[in-house]
Structure 1
């Protein structure tokens, strides 16, 4: 009997509450919602790291970053580590990855021969390479977001070969409207939507589905959209779908940042590009911004543009579901949608992401449908990206190595209501060792410590303050709670500020 197919859809920097199915009153994500309606929606799903590469490596390996070694952006994942896509390939699946993978650093040196580096794509003939790569039989790469996507990768090569006139339309100078002066990365893209990388990714994924649906082998497909990661620059009509004045305002509690570790008094420069050029002085991962110097109007446009990017992804997801239905394989395919991490989007007076492990960054959407999953299943248990490898392997009947995660199949099937009492998260900084932090999250609490700066800490009562606006760490009446949670970290995640894996680039 032919095994079920599997499609893993990933967005970049999409927070849990970005979907209409997870309570967003502005969004119209009918296609992503449809996945959950056909199967299960997870309401307590977290990533163990709020930065792209570490989280993506966790999704592939089922390991915490300290165990898979990709502890920060700029480090490469070891191809010898077992991962989900290798397991699928070895079980006879035809595997393909389309879009942003981010298993290797963009600024790795040319002699490293890393296909996800800019240097690799400077070589003549590089566009002919298609894999194999990390268990994928073939890949079609998009590298970077917005105007960065035209520098390297299969999409950039395709665009320059077939539509060279569109390359410059990605630049903010080509915007059909004026660019925000107080936040450099907000503009309306002039790129035709059908030639935008989100559409290109959907085109490649649909072609793969149609080609593989009638073949005897099952298929595994990773579809990874670079958006809604900043810059906030969707093309028309998506940049105009949501009116800025109607966007929900960020949630900020007066005085909340004064109760947080002192580094949050500073932030990145909103007038600088949120990237690091080769040779530039390192800036902290995530390019965290305080919104003090950004006008309410500009921030509202950034939020509206984020919703526009999400809507464009939702339309692309609809195309994938239509392709599955049109080829007759929808009922025989598991479809999973999630994100690597979230986005602050003005909450707490902060933008983008960075060292603080706020809920807006760690909690991400997860919806999953497929054979045997009861439609409309709603799950509130604590689950994590570390669980995805074990769970997918179990659903597909594949052997899998031991991971840091738990097989969620009993939870999905209703044979369990919970799988754990707590989860860990860990952030390794790029620039300042003081920012290294570790967290333990339960249903009711989040505790974070800074081993290299013991005076800093974070404690949030999630039952009363679910989106973490009032740090209780310095209040003596909660010291016993902090001590209890600190002991859990001591036992399960002792401090390990140094990870033995070479830094190859900044990004």
Structure 2
């Protein structure tokens, strides 16, 4: 009897132990599943400045993202031109490492070489491997979808849903690549207006996604890029607005590099009327983006994902309208072209913060991957996560003391027949022979914000031109102080620039 009782006890104990083990494993599995990865949305506008009032029309965006999270007051692009800048965002690299020089195929914009060498290592590939559901909508790279770039059949790796604009920004009469298939659009506002189409397809993606996996969306409306076509309901908005007349507006570039010494000063009235019109129309197009942000956040709230979603709002670079007598464009080294808006909200980010930490657009990819839980030590990128600045209680991190801004000028080999006195090598010329770019508009700058507020730039031209600005005493960069600065400081800045121009990966983050 005793032996039978012991046997039964052992049997019962084994059953209880087994049940406890199963319960423990089940609990552990459930606990691992309860660590929910956050969703991420990146909204990237085209040519939206911050220095010239470019965020003024964005009342809803500032309230729904900025007031709900953080606004960075020192956000910069690594290069002030569309395709190189967007390539920096996608790869997390400075232009000297991703090798996109300008907006042309010959400048490596969406070239077949770029597709083979850069796209497989872009941040969406990492997200997709981490089970993120991914959606892209809007402008990608300026040459995307062209015959020389592989046509609309090419869909970059890492994207589950691909709704990308073929070529440069348009609002109507464009072609999309929809998951590798050509889709043509006309000029019907309800069906074709690109900003609204990007929004509507992103909302559809949110409805159709699997709730079992996180999502990443990158939404790239054309606003406020030319041709500045506003939605019908906004075409009369801002009728009395003019470009700001303060700072460097309509000022001569007498002590600046060759290109800025060429424009006539003061500008003719025709140029001022033109740039004022462009300024108003840019703002008009942004009102639809502001609506996009509002509708997107309402949708996230309705599907109960808002509190688990990081939303980034930024632009590829800044813009100018009359600064130093240049009518309209980007491409220059000055604050109006290199500063960008950057607003972020999300889990763990306290509301109504304004941070002065310097942030670059090459940091976006590393920050997004950091949020997603990637092992950043395995990622070959030049940027660094700014999650520690947004939410120091989530991450430890350091700020960079200085950073690089670089640009490769573009020009035509032959002279413009209407402007023979300027000679060959220029581009983006207006009828009055004011040109916005040239081969010798090739420069590299060190921008310092810690301990001093300086910019030091060297040009690759036959003058070996150097520009230096103290932005504390001269925030509009009116006076080039290169001849007044202590030569020892110039030497320090030159050495920093040399190191930055050759840096890659970790070395870009560790230069002292």
Give the TM-score, by structure 1 length: 0.76
Instruction: Report the Cα offset of residue 325 of structure 1.
Output: 0.9
- CA 1:495–1:338: 2 relative to 1, 3 Å: closer
Secondary structure in 1 aligned to 2:202? helix
1:449 equivalent to 2:458? Answer yes
Distance in structure 2 (CA, Å) of the matches to 1:482 and 1:106: 44
Deviations 1:67-96 (A, max 9, x none): 122222221333443111001100001111
Equivalent of 2:270 in 294, 306, 309 = 294
Indicate the structure whose relative CO is greater, using CA pairs within 8 Å and at least 6 residues apart: 1
Picking from 439, 443, 452, the partner of 1:437 is 443
Aligned equivalents of 2:361 and 2:331: distance in 1?
Answer: 19
Contact 1:5–1:332 under 8 Å retained in 2: yes
Once the two structures are TM-superposed, the CA of residue 406 in structure 1 deviates from its matched residue by 1.5
Q: How many residues align?
A: 426
Contact 1:35-1:369 within 8 A present in 2 as well: yes
Q: 1:149 to 1:447 in 2, by over 3 A?
A: farther
Deviations 1:209-245 (A, max 9, x none): 2222x52111111100111012233232222110235
Q: Which whole-Å CA distance do the structure 2 matches of 1:427 and 1:79 have between them?
A: 23
1:201 aligns with 2:231: no
2:215 is equivalent to residue 219 of structure 1:
yes
Structure 2 unaligned segments of length 5 or more: list them: 1-33, 412-424, 426-438, 505-512
Q: 2:232 matched to which residue of 1?
A: 236
Counterparts of 1:272-311 in structure 2, within 5 Å, are 292=268, 294-311=270-287
| Structure-2 separation of matches of 1:89 and 1:63 | 20
The structural deviation recorded for 1:159 is 5.3
Other structure's SS at 1:334 match = strand
Aligned to 2:46: 12
SS of residue in 2 equivalent to 1:430: coil
Mean alpha-carbon deviation: is it higher for 150-159 or for 320-329? 150-159
Given the alignment, which residue of 175, 180, 188 partners 1:152?
175
Alignment of 1:89-488 (within 5 A): 89-102=128-141, 104-105=143-144, 107-109=146-148, 112-115=149-152, 132-144=155-167, 150-154=173-177, 158=183, 160=185, 164=186, 166=187, 192=189, 195-212=192-209, 215-245=211-241, 248-249=244-245, 251-252=247-248, 255-266=251-262, 292=268, 294-400=270-376, 401-414=379-392, 419-431=399-411, 432=425, 433-443=439-449, 444-473=453-482, 475-477=483-485, 479-488=487-496
Specify whether residues 417 and 344 from structure 1 end up closer, same or farther in structure 2 by C-alpha distance, changes over 3 A only.
farther
C-alpha RMSD of the superposition: 3.0
1:18 offset after TM fit, Å?
6.1
| Contact 1:132–1:138 (Cα < 8 Å) also in 2 | no
2:126 counterpart of 1:87:
yes
For residue 294 of structure 1, give the secondary structure of its aligned residue in structure 2.
Answer: helix
Partner residue of 1:29 out of 59, 62, 75? 59
**Bigger CA radius of gyration:** 2
2:77 is the alignment partner of 1:47: yes
Give, in angstroms, the shift of residue 300 of structure 1.
2.0
Corresponding residue for residue 502 of structure 1 = none
After TM superposition, give the deviation of residue 146 of structure 1 in Å.
6.3
Rounded to whole Å, the distance in 1 between the matches of 2:277 and 2:327 is: 13
Q: Does 1:78 align with 2:112?
A: no
* Structure-1 separation of matches of 2:99 and 2:392: 34
The separation in 1 between residues aligned to 2:486 and 2:235, in whole angstroms, is 45
1:67 lines up with 2:45 in the alignment: no
Distance 1:465 1:488 in 2: 22
Residues 289-323 of structure 1 deviation map (CA, whole Å, 9 limit, x = unaligned) = 99546343332222111111122211111111111
Higher mean C-alpha displacement, 453-462 vs 309-318: 453-462
SS, match of residue 488 in structure 1: helix
TM-score of the superposed pair, with normalisation by structure 2: 0.76
SS in 2 for 1:347: coil
Cα drift, residue 53 of structure 1:
1.1
